[in-house]
Amino acid sequence: MVASGISGNFLAFDIGGTKIEAAIAGLESGRLKSFKTVRVATGDHSSFSSVMAAVLRALQAGDGILSGAAVAVAGPVVGGRAHLTNVPWAVEEDVLRGLFPGARIHLMNDMEAHGHAAVALMAHRRGVAVPAGLLVESSELLGGKVDPQGSACVIAPGTGLGEGFIVWTGSKHQPVGSEGGHSSFSPIDDEQMRLLNFLRHTQGHHHVSWERLVSGKFGLPNLYLFVTRDLGMQTKVEGLEAEVIDGEQPVQALMTAADEGDPVASKVLEMFMGLMGQETGNLALKVLATGGVFVSGGLVQRMKVALKGRYLDAFREGMCAKGRFRPLLANLPVTFLEDKLTALKGAMVSLVL
């Protein structure tokens, strides 16, 4: 798993429902010589071929020979085909192979890409040569002992809730995508029982998944409505509800209000961090993540100050409050993947490690 001798040009995509990030990297004997990125709007394109043409034109890569191309998509990949939610076109491995004959091709779920970004950090810790420009920005969230050959997990709250895990094959760590964010929410106390009943009976959600609580599109609005409607708390900030439910920057609105002492904003953020920690602990137990726990995702990246500050204890307690397994969970290292290009760099890493 050494990248020291690899050379060539490599193309990577991170395709979401709103935007597409793409990059082309030039490597020479394992050293990153160039890394150019571009962003395009998903809604501007009616097919993946249109996306590819726009990206290659913007990256000025139309005439170059590619050694590899990787595409990460926000949706499941089945049989070499990925169809994104709310996007009326698909991405297929066969199309990529036709566009780039002879190149290494990798079509993956976006959580697998986050996993590859984590794998690069894990490999770097073991002394494996990884091109420095492809290592994502990261920081220690919670300290712990790392098992170099242990499994690991990734949780990534964004628009939805992404989850993935990483297994040791005997020679390397292998990321595996998951749709675990859609598994059923499991309340652990009376307040959470009220939350479940509120979402089921008042909001009409027959199946309450973790994504309904730990995400930007669903989680923050649901928690806000629960705190104000069911718990009866009142905000001191005019217009906060509109910002959280329909605004363009609900995270910033909540964090600003919490800093000003608003009880509703503080309660929503505390609940969110605790629930995120709770599901992180669930995932860590299911894969026995002695190799590490990784927190990623655009939503939580925008919450960085809150997560690493006043709400870190809520996350820690949510993660570790598992009865007899508290000591094990409390000893797991938790790394925060802070890089906004985590999935894109992860997709690139899948081609060169």
pLDDT tens digits along 156-175: 999 899 999 999 999 899 99
Angle at 49 between CA 43 and CA 51, to 5 degrees: 40
Tens digits of residue pLDDT in 97-155: 998 999 999 999 999 999 999 999 999 988 888 888 999 999 999 999 999 999 999 99
Cα gap 54→57, rounded to integer Å = 5
Non-local CB neighbours of 146 within 8 Å, separated by 6+ positions: 125, 290, 291, 292, 333
Cα gap 274→314, rounded to integer Å = 5
| pLDDT score at 3 | 52
DSSP string, 184-250: BP---SHHHHHHHHIIIIIS--SS-BGGGTSSTTTHHHHHHHIIIIIS----SSTTHHHHHHH-S-H
Closest CA to 291 of 163, 164, 151: 151
SS3 295: strand
pTM: 0.94
Tens digits of residue pLDDT in 303-330: 999 999 999 999 999 999 999 999 999 9
Q: How confident is the model at residue 4 (pLDDT cuts 50, 70, 90)?
A: low
Residues in the chain: 353
**What is the percentage of the chain residues whose pLDDT exceeds 70?**
97
What is the largest distance, in Å, between two alpha-carbon atoms of the chain? 62
Closest CA to 100 of 65, 125, 70, 129: 65
User: Are the C-beta atoms of 147 and 173 separated by less than 8 Å?
Assistant: no
CB-count burial class (<10 Å; 0-12, 13-18, 19+) for 256: middle
Q: Where are the beta strands (DSSP E) in 136-200?
A: 138-142, 152-157, 161-168, 173-178
Q: How confident is the model at residue 349 (pLDDT cuts 50, 70, 90)?
A: very high
**What DSSP character marks residue 137?**
P
Give kind and range of the element (H or E) at residue 109: strand 104-109
The stretch 251-279 carries a mean pLDDT of: 97
Cα gap 42→14, rounded to integer Å = 11
User: Are the C-beta atoms of 227 and 267 separated by less than 8 Å?
Assistant: yes
DSSP bridge partners of 161: 157
Pair of tokens at residue 1: 């798993």
Pair of tokens at residue 213: 């609580």
User: Are the C-beta atoms of 351 and 108 separated by less than 8 Å?
Assistant: no
| pLDDT score at 238 | 96
Closest CA to 187 of 138, 148, 226: 226
> Is residue 2 over pLDDT 60?
no
SS3 61: coil
Q: Which residue has the tokens 């995120």?
A: 276
Q: Set out the domains of the chain in order of their start, with CATH numbers.
A: 8-135+340-352 (3.30.420.40), 180-337 (3.40.367.20)
| pLDDT score at 228 | 98
